[in-house]
Amino acid sequence: MLMGRKPVSPAEIPPPAMDKEENLAEERSGASAGSLAERHAVQLAARSLLNAFLRENEDAVERMEILAEAAEMGAAVPLTLLLSDGTRIHGSVRYASLTGQHLYEEEWLLERCGSARVLPFDELAEALVREQSLRLGPGAAVAAPGTLKRIQASVRHLRGHLERREADEQAGLDVRKLDYIRSEQSVLAGHPFHPYPKSVEGMNETDLIRFSPERGASFLLHYFAVRSSCLICEWLPDAFQGTLPPEACETFRRALKEGLGSQAAALYEPLPMHPWQADRLLEQPWIEQAVQRGELVPLGPLGPRVYPTSSVRTVWEPHSGYGWKLPLEVRITNLVRVNTAEQTSRTMHAVRLAAHLGGELESELPGLLPETGYSGIAVHGQAMPDPAASVLIRPMALEPTATFVLASLLEGWPGEQMPKLAQAITESGRSGGAQQLPDMLEWLERYLRLSMLPLLRVWDRFGISFEAHAQNSLLSLADGWPVKFYVRDLEGMSVDRRLAEKAGWVGDVLPKDSPLLYEAADAWHRTLYYFFVNHLGSLIHALALWQGWPEREGWSVVRHLLVEEREWSSERLRPYVDGLLNHSTLPAKANFASCLANKGDTPLYISIHNPIRDGRRP
């Protein structure tokens, strides 16, 4: 539970409207009606919503010890939630998870005053939002209607994604093809502990069809020509200094010459923009004025076709390997996705430090994918570009037929329990034939040697922590085995301030007030959550569910490698490894509470049981 909550009387929050009770058998029949896409969307939405609620409110579970025992074995178990008004919600866990990634049966029952009826998803969501609001206090009650609206939108968007997939399949398209782009565009379930993982506010259905990765979108970027005096840019010294790859630069120069004449090429620089954002910018008075003054020239859609990745606003062009982290004034889950000055500074401080460390860092973590610079439209008197008109450049040179975003591999295709990782492994034989599945515990050990151990050694040597969650992590396979682990999005890097000062980086590579610098405990906290809880929790759950073994089998591999690493670790690293082996808890984001408390930028955290701790529980 979250600490410091102020209780609220149930009377302060009106109960959700309930339909008249009908015959239970009839309701069960009605609950199963609807399209396959609707059914799968509701299943996925209910799972992430329930798991977010249970992770943050274990005391709402009747007989929590029974659920905990089932999680030790990956077993099925009945589940009852007791809410503050005396209502009970009954369901069944089909697979109980040590880290709370439970899998549920479809049907839920509401028991009140001795009678029970089937609980539709909308009412389940209302009941859980109301209960979470009661536990958080009056401020959360104000946010409850908006939270419910986003939950409903998330389900609606997910249903649309699945319906598009059904339509493509009926049209004869290969909807099960798996490569890098398809992996980015098939993260359908989304965050496993978020009440509305597919909520997008600001785009209508037409926009979603055009721009959603889950709809298989691809499009041309909208190019602006910007006078050099109106741009603010920063580039790594040894990187290619341009917002476009060389071939796209030629396209830009031709369009500029055709529109403004041959002399314009020396006056203007390109700034690519998401088409949705370009339309929005062109409606802003300050942009209109810049166009009238000739400081900004909209050239329209140009260049190569790009593909949105799982984050929606980041796009990738496969021919050049160029990627762009674009501003998009759309609220995706909890945040409007623009490139703020603080985020841009964090990113550039991170890439400067990575470049300074050079081969030393690369030898430990060869799959780091740093940004190379940014460019944006200057606002008079500001040292940084406008967040809504600032673009970060992220080249990603990778093998697109054998590299995948991990978050996608850990999901199954709609309605299937087997993760896409199984398909990626079987299709990864160098000879082109089907690859036999390896021993997955051995596979996991190899993966951890590519990911976990390098991340620990980077922390040890450099005091650097990454937000290496499943959506920021890429994996390359060869003959079924993991061969390269990638981490992207260096905005999520954090650095131990004391180690940085001791190494002489502060005041040289990094300014003293760099947002990258943290106390050691705070920086390490990010590795604990993003890699061990989010990343490994999802990976081990997916493997266990697929292979039919309890999750503790996977966590025992993690423990074995940590014990082995401890024998060779430095005095600095050993206490951190000991903490992983022996502390009773690990930190986890409280996404449900953070949504209701409007803390998307500064999320709340709770403690969950540490599954690495040799099977012991507090």
Rounded-to-integer distance, Cα 276 and Cα 274, Å: 6
Query: What is the per-residue burial (b if ≥16 Cβ within 10 Å, else e) of 274-306?
Result: bbbbbebbeeeeebeebeeeebbbbbeebbbeb
Q: Is the pLDDT of residue 407 over 90?
A: yes
Q: Which residues contact 208 (CB under 8 A, 6 or more apart)?
A: 157, 160, 200, 215
Cβ neighbours, 10 Å, residue 358: 10
Mean pLDDT to the nearest integer, 246-250: 88
Confidence label for 321 from pLDDT (cuts 50, 70 and 90)? very high
pLDDT at position 22: 34
Rounded-to-integer distance, Cα 411 and Cα 427, Å: 17
**Structural domains of the chain, ranges and CATH numbers in brackets:** 36-185 (3.30.310), 218-393 (no CATH), 403-582 (1.10.510.40)
Q: Which residues contact 294 (CB under 8 A, 6 or more apart)?
A: 227
pLDDT at position 614: 67
What pLDDT digit, counting tens, does each position of 495-511 carry?
999 999 999 999 999 99
Listed residue (132, 124, 121, 129) closest to 56, CA to CA:
132
What pLDDT digit, counting tens, does each position of 103-158 carry?
999 999 999 988 999 999 999 999 999 999 999 988 888 999 999 999 999 999 99
pLDDT at position 3: 34
Average model confidence (pLDDT) across the chain: 91
Looking up tokens 């149930």 gives: 10
CA 178 to chain centre: 19
Q: Is the pLDDT of residue 182 over 60?
A: yes
Mean pLDDT to the nearest integer, 565-589: 97
